[in-house]
A and B are shown apart, each in its own frame.
Chain A
Amino acid sequence: MAAITLTIDDKQVSAEDSQSVLSIAQEQGIAIPTLCHLEGVYDVGACRLCLVEVAGVNKLLPACTTKATEGMVVRTDTERLRKYRKITLELLFAERNHVCAICVANGHCELQTMAYNQGMDHVRYDYCFPKWDMDLTHERFGMDHNRCILCARCVRACWHIEGAGTKNVAGRGARSHIITDMFQPWGEAESCTSCGKCVMACPTGALFERGSTTGEMQRDRTTLEFIVTAREKKQWIA
């Protein structure tokens, strides 16, 4: 591991060469918007909100999966990026049924917060209004596909923190959706340990604890991060 120096938004910063641009920016207090990124699980670069401009590279690169290199010059907040981020959010809102006022996650939703932060005050595209079902077969948790943004955080948390492998993505394109086991109702998914990590990971109101009211929908991300860190650093061994 070697120390490197790079420039992010005109600010010279030092970092380790194994770090992603996103983690360096976060250390430096430079906010790069993310939706599919989740501390504790590997990054997939799917939401495209963390795209940044890197001098000398003609493509936009996702900050979460791009490793920093010596002398790299990164811009995280240009007019072009802001425009693309806004469109990305508009596309998400038009894709499924994100109606904040009647959502369990209202006020605790990353998608909602992101839209506020990025100044997305209306959606210019026609809404798709797809008809997705809800899965309320599990005794403790529920899944509302209408709120899902397919960030696959739950899938990664289920496979790589809990190790259960219950959650998966099925279908393709706009028909992609999260499934449990081999497309069984969640309540019948034998591999599910009912650990609730997927619910902790969900950025929107797609996964929720049954019976909880809107006010109680606080996500517990620190638990996920704590488990992963404790495991890596063997903190349970006294």
Chain B
Amino acid sequence: MDLSELNQIKERELAARKKYTLRCCMAAGCMSSNAESVKEELEKAVTEAGLGQEVEVRGVGCMRLCCEGPLVQADPDGILFEQVDPDAAKSIIAALKGGKAKARLGNPQSPFFTQQKSIVLANSGIVDPERIESYIAADGYQALYHVLRELDPNEVVTEMVTSGLRGRGGAGFPVGLKWGTVAKSPGAKKYVVCNADEGDPGAFMDRSVLESDPHAILEGMAIAAFAVGADQGFIYARAEYPLAIDRLKKAIKQAKAKGLLGAGIFDSPFNFTVDIRIGAGAFVCGEETALMMSIEGRRGTPRPRPPFPAESGLWGCPTLINNVETLANVAPIIRNGGEWFAGIGTEKSKGTKVFALAGKIKNTGLIEVPMGTPLRTIVEEMGGGAPDGGTIKAVQTGGPSGGCIPAHSLDTPVDYESLGKLGSIMGSGGMIVMDQDTNMVDVARFFMEFCMDESCGKCIPCRAGTVQMHHLLDKIMDRKATARDLQKLEELCDMVKSTSLCGLGQTAPNPTLSTLRFFRNEYEERLQPDVFGPRGNGKPAKTKASA
């Protein structure tokens, strides 16, 4: 493969475009509501109407407005059909010629769509994720060519530093710095790992990116591998994402066949292979040291850092670990330059962030917005506010490691620092909206139960501490706790946060701490008078912690 061949594929693909394109969402959300039959019926209807030369029916990735699926969009006019029934196929084809479609019309000009800025999701809903030609037509693999033939590894790292991109897995570590560290770590063998073990309740950004644009991840990984000097990559994906894994496998096969993965890519001395490793259902394996243990075939438990993976990772070799969304940003940054990326977002948080909007909100789905967008814009304008005339009480970000942001702080801009100040975190991008009926103690208990179930059991504070915190939250919920129990809970939160071995335990108290900070009254109104206090009977209530 060389540049002219790459461009030939692109031109052939563009030349084959037809007058009309019907883009059918084929991501997991729409597929669960029968999108596959919709696409089949549309294809049948096109053949029956004899419009094979004029109309292309293309399966694409996520079209974002998941709550209205299955979605179909007709180009060139961009007419959006929502909740499409397979029976409506014929009428949709007729609508292309001015007929009336028996499907609900969506509004592509609504704030949900217009307020978005697509970098990570630029190809999502447009490119056919199962065909590499479709990705190449959207300038795919051009960045890889540029990097391999026109830049040296240092220049690639510098470009990432200039971009100001920060890790999208949650903690926000500067990507350029990480790449630079791995590049400088001595070692003949190095690895690049894509962390696709997305596990926060309510978060599905990475899944959508993998299902919609798998080649962008492969290209990002290859660029990263060139920059740090690695020749082997692993994608660690959770087993619960069969469609994403399937598409990744197809993408790897196609890229290998085209010589875009393997030996001597673009006739350069650079070799790179990618293998998929599938998780076995442990949330903790999203933590990088546990993830590496799992890739090595061992029990997925974290180990103390340092040494960091950049110094000693997979099989003791320097290893670069980046999240899916981070890697999806790489090719666009190389194509458009780090300066361009640094021009988007806020001073300390550059670029865009993808969020999975879920919970008590009208428009659930996927959104990508520039960093610094106020939460209010996301929740009220784009999300359409709470359904059925409800009022929004809080927004939860960061999953079990994050916190609840109360409605009065909705004007907070979405960036790493502002969310941190409110006791939450950016996290990987789950955003769960809660309305007036949500009990915040129950929310805290839900996330604590999640952490308790997902604790690996290696260190005591996380293993035994989450059990006790969950038990105390249970007691508060059941109105059996006293002020003393609340005090114990707060003390345990502090202890588990300070002493746990890995991020899971260190952040497990966050949902409890943040709800205590903003909704303390909901805890206090459930407390009972202390039996040993002035009005108590002196007999402790009989309770038993459940392991």
Contacts and interface: CB of A to CB of B under 8 A. Distances in A.
Interface of A: 44-48, 51, 59-62, 65-66, 80, 83-84, 87-88, 91-92, 94-95, 124-130, 149-150, 152, 168-169, 171-176
The binding surface of chain B is classed by DSSP as helix
A195 to B, nearest CB: 23
Contact of A62 (B304, B467, B468): B304
Contacts of A94: 464, 468, 545
Nearest to B467: A174
B492 interface: yes
Given A128-B547, A174-B547, A176-B463, A44 B457 contact: no
Contacts of A66: 304
Contacts of A61: 304
B286 to A, nearest CB: 14
B454 A87 contact: no
Given A127-B545, A128-B546, A173 B501 contact: no
Contact of A84 (B459, B468, B499, B545): B499
B299 to A, nearest CB: 6
Contacts of B544: 126-129
A152 B459 CA distance: 11
Nearest to B492: A87
Contact of A124 (B282, B471, B488, B499): B488
A130 B299 contact: no
A158 to B, nearest CB: 14
A128 B495 contact: no
Contacts of A174: 452, 455, 457, 463-464, 467, 547
Of the listed residues A45, A84, A173, the one surrounded by the most CB atoms of chain B closer than 10 A to its CB is A173
B262 to A, nearest CB: 37
A91 B505 CA distance: 14
A88 B468 contact: no
B491 to A, nearest CB: 7
A127 B468 CA distance: 9
A126 B457 contact: no
A48 B500 contact: yes
A44 B455 CA distance: 16
Interface string B440-484: 000000000000111111111101111110010000000000000
The binding surface of chain A is classed by DSSP as loop
Contacts of A169: 299, 457
Given A45-B501, A129-B544, 17 more contacts: A44-B304, A44-B458, A45-B303, A46-B459, A46-B501, A48-B460, A48-B461, A48-B499, A59-B498, A83-B495, A91-B465, A92-B464, A125-B488, A126-B544, A130-B547, A150-B463, A172-B454
Contacts of A168: 299
B543 interface: yes
A106 to B, nearest CB: 22
Given A88-B460, A172-B456, A174-B467, A128 B545 contact: yes
A124 B457 CA distance: 22
B493 to A, nearest CB: 11
Of the listed residues A84, A95, A126, the one surrounded by the most CB atoms of chain B closer than 10 A to its CB is A126
A192 B455 CA distance: 29
Interface in B197-247: none
7 contacts: A87-B491, A125-B545, A128-B467, A128-B545, A149-B460, A173-B455, A176-B458
A152 B501 CA distance: 15
Given A60-B498, A88-B499, A91-B464, A47 B545 contact: no
Interface string B286-318: 000000000000010001100000000000000
Nearest to A124: B488
Contact of A172 (B282, B460, B468, B501): B282
Contacts of A128: 467, 544-547
